[in-house]
């Protein structure tokens, strides 16, 4: 991600007209449903969050965050803010680092779509995986902390958290490949040959390991708020894609950054990790396995191919919404160009995993 991209995705700004809502109606709702709330409110929209529009709600005493479904025609099962609210509330009860949740409103008459309200958490968000903002000795501890947080999530007992029905156990890869193939085809705007090959091959090579845990679905540095000065995760954000799923799908999604070029999410491919002070892939795997009791990460190439296919499908959906005029970020329109290179990279890993060229 370039400096220009970071500026476009970070911070808050004025709410564009198509994403504005009746602020007095929100204030009335919060007065009734948010314990300790006292107005008046000031509303600004976060520049990031292309999928579910996210707003900073400032009062004289406190800051909140509002996350809502976008207006307009939506893909089936997408933008499930009710699921985000449920999983964050449940995980908060397990002392997992998430913002405190206050209220879920499914009455579209209040601001036009369903939404929920949570705490605003002060801390650091890193958009570049090389962590240029911090000193070299501080980079590995931040990686270790974030990987430990993901391992902690995968170690949570879904039944103890009240999330045993949060997704279907088993056959995760098979179901997800089917889901994202359908979503991709529903949002397709041009033919990408590698995506079609992946749609055909991925269901034929599903890993035999069928573990199940709570999975985040989009776990990376810019979806976590780190402590302002310490290597500690304060809050994990953006739970829209969470479910019960395969923990290795979740972990290898995080590992994709090792194979992305710098211009894609501040990727690490081709960089001197030792010079940067960033732990190598092998160390990231070792830390995760130590904390989850695993011997290793089998089917790594398949998992990377699957995850790159999945993110290409997600980006295609964001791009298609941008063309329809109801994406949350104007930068979304630029994302369409990322689909083919991601699909090509995914296909390279598919071939390493045994796919025919």
Measured distance CA(319)–CA(184) in Å, rounded: 11
Measured distance CA(43)–CA(63) in Å, rounded: 10
276: left (phi over 0), alpha (psi -120 to 50) or beta: alpha
Residue 68: strand pairing partners: 115
Coil/strand/helix, residue 190: coil
Measured distance CA(179)–CA(199) in Å, rounded: 10
What are the strands, taking DSSP E only, across the chain?
A: 12-13, 42-46, 54-58, 63-68, 101-105, 115-119, 213-215, 224-226, 233-236, 243-245
The CATH fold assigned to 3-119 is: Phosphorylase Kinase; domain 1 (3.30.200)
Measured distance CA(96)–CA(82) in Å, rounded: 19
Of 261, 165, 273, 180, the C-alpha closest to 218 is: 180
Give, for all 357 residues of the chain, the pLDDT tens digit.
333 344 344 578 888 888 889 999 999 999 999 999 998 999 999 886 557 899 999 999 999 999 998 876 554 455 688 999 999 999 999 999 999 999 999 999 999 999 999 999 999 999 999 999 999 999 999 999 999 999 999 999 999 999 999 998 888 999 999 999 999 999 998 999 999 999 999 999 999 888 999 999 999 999 999 999 999 999 999 998 899 999 999 999 999 999 998 887 789 999 999 999 999 999 999 999 999 999 999 899 999 999 999 999 999 998 888 888 766 666 776 788 889 999 999 999 999 999 986
| Secondary element (H or E) of residue 216 | none
What are the strands, taking DSSP E only, across 237-282?
A: 243-245
Round to the nearest angstrom and report the end-to-end CA distance of the chain: 31
Measured distance CA(106)–CA(209) in Å, rounded: 38
207: left (phi over 0), alpha (psi -120 to 50) or beta: beta
Cα–Cα distance list, 32 to 54, 128, 212 (Å): 21, 40, 39
Measured distance CA(315)–CA(317) in Å, rounded: 5
Q: Exposed e or buried b for every residue in 66-78, given b needs 16+ CB within 10 A?
A: bbbbbbeeeeeeb
Q: What are the sequence ranges of the domains in the chain?
A: 3-119, 136-352
CATH architecture of the domain with residue range 136-352: Alpha-Beta Complex (3.90)
Residue 235: strand pairing partners: 225
Measured distance CA(16)–CA(46) in Å, rounded: 11
Strand 243-245 relative to strand 213-215, pairing: antiparallel
């Amino acid at each position: 991600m370039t400096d220009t991209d970071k500026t476009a995705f970070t911070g808050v700004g004025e709410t564009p007209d198509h994403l504005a809502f009746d602020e007095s109606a929100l204030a009335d709702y919060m007065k009734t449903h948010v314990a300790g709330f006292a107005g008046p409110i000031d509303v600004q929209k976060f520049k990031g969050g292309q999928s579910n529009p996210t707003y900073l709600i400032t009062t004289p005493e406190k800051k909140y965050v509002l996350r809502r479904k976008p207006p307009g025609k939506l893909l089936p099962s997408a933008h499930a803010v009710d699921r985000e609210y449920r999983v964050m509330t449940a995980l908060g009860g397990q002392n997992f680092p998430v913002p405190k949740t206050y209220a879920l409103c499914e009455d579209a008459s209040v601001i036009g779509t369903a939404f929920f309200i949570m705490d605003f958490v002060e801390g650091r968000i890193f958009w570049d995986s090389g962590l240029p903002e911090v000193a070299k000795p501080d980079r590995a501890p931040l990686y270790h902390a974030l990987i430990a947080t993901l391992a902690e999530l995968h170690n949570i007992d879904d039944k103890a958290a009240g999330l045993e029905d949060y997704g279907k156990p088993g056959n995760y890869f098979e179901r997800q490949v089917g889901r994202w193939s359908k979503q991709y085809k529903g949002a397709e705007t041009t033919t990408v040959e590698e995506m079609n090959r992946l749609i055909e091959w991925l269901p034929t090579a599903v890993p035999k390991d069928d573990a199940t845990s709570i999975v985040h679905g989009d776990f990376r540095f810019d979806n976590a708020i780190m402590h302002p000065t310490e290597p500690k995760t304060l809050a994990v954000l953006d739970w829209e894609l969470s479910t019960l799923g395969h923990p290795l799908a979740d972990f290898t999604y995080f590992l994709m950054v090792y194979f992305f070029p710098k211009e894609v999410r501040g990727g690490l491919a081709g960089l001197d990790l030792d010079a940067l002070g960033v732990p190598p892939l092998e160390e990231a795997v070792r830390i995760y396995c130590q904390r989850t009791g695993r011997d290793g990460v089998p089917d790594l190439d398949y998992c990377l191919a699957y995850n790159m296919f999945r993110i290409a499908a997600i980006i295609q959906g964001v791009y298609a919404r941008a063309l329809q005029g109801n994406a949350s970020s104007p930068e979304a329109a630029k994302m369409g160009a990322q689909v083919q290179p991601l699909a090509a990279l995914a296909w390279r890993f598919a071939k390493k995993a045994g796919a025919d060229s």
